C-alpha cells in the first residue's frame, strides 16, 4: 500500500479522511481498510424517457387516478398560531 504524506495545513480528522479518499482513488476502496466503501453495481432510478412505453403507462395511470385533493383542507404553516384555527 502506497503511503500518502498528510498535509500539515488540514486538521487531523480531515487529513485522515482526505488521505483515505486519495488512497481509494489510487488503489481502490479495499485498500482503505473499510474507511471508504467500494462502489456498488446498483442501477440508479431515473424517470423513463419521454414517449417511452413506461412513460406512457405512468401518464395514463396519473390521468385515470382519482383526484383526492379536491375535498382536502389545505393547512398553511402559519395557520392556527393565533388561536383562529
Using CA atoms, how far apart are residues 32 and 3, in angstroms rounded to an integer?
Answer: 11
| pLDDT band for position 80 (cuts 50, 70, 90) | low
Domains of the chain by residue range = 1-39
Whether the predicted pLDDT of 55 surpasses 80: yes
Using CA atoms, how far apart are residues 63 and 53, in angstroms rounded to an integer?
Answer: 15
Question: What integer is the mean pLDDT of 43-71?
Answer: 84
Tens-place pLDDT, residues 6-54: 544 444 444 577 788 899 889 998 988 888 888 877 777 788 888 999 8
CB 17 within 8 A of CB 35: yes
What is the model's pLDDT at position 57? 92
The DSSP code for 83 is S
DSSP string, 14-82: HHHHHHHHHHHHHH-GGGGTTSSPPPP-PPPP-PPPTTSHHHHHHHHHHHHS--TTTTPPP--TTTTTT
Residue 45 phi/psi, 5-degree rounding, is -90, 120
Amino acid at each position: 500500500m502506497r503511503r500518502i504524506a498528510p498535509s500539515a495545513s488540514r486538521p487531523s480528522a480531515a487529513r485522515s479522511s482526505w488521505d483515505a479518499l486519495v488512497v481509494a482513488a489510487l488503489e481502490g476502496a479495499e485498500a482503505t481498510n473499510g474507511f471508504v466503501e467500494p462502489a456498488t453495481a446498483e442501477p440508479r432510478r431515473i424517470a423513463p424517457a419521454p414517449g417511452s412505453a413506461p412513460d406512457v403507462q405512468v401518464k395514463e395511470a396519473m390521468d385515470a387516478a382519482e383526484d383526492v385533493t379536491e375535498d382536502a383542507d389545505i393547512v398553511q404553516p402559519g395557520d392556527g398560531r393565533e388561536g383562529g384555527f
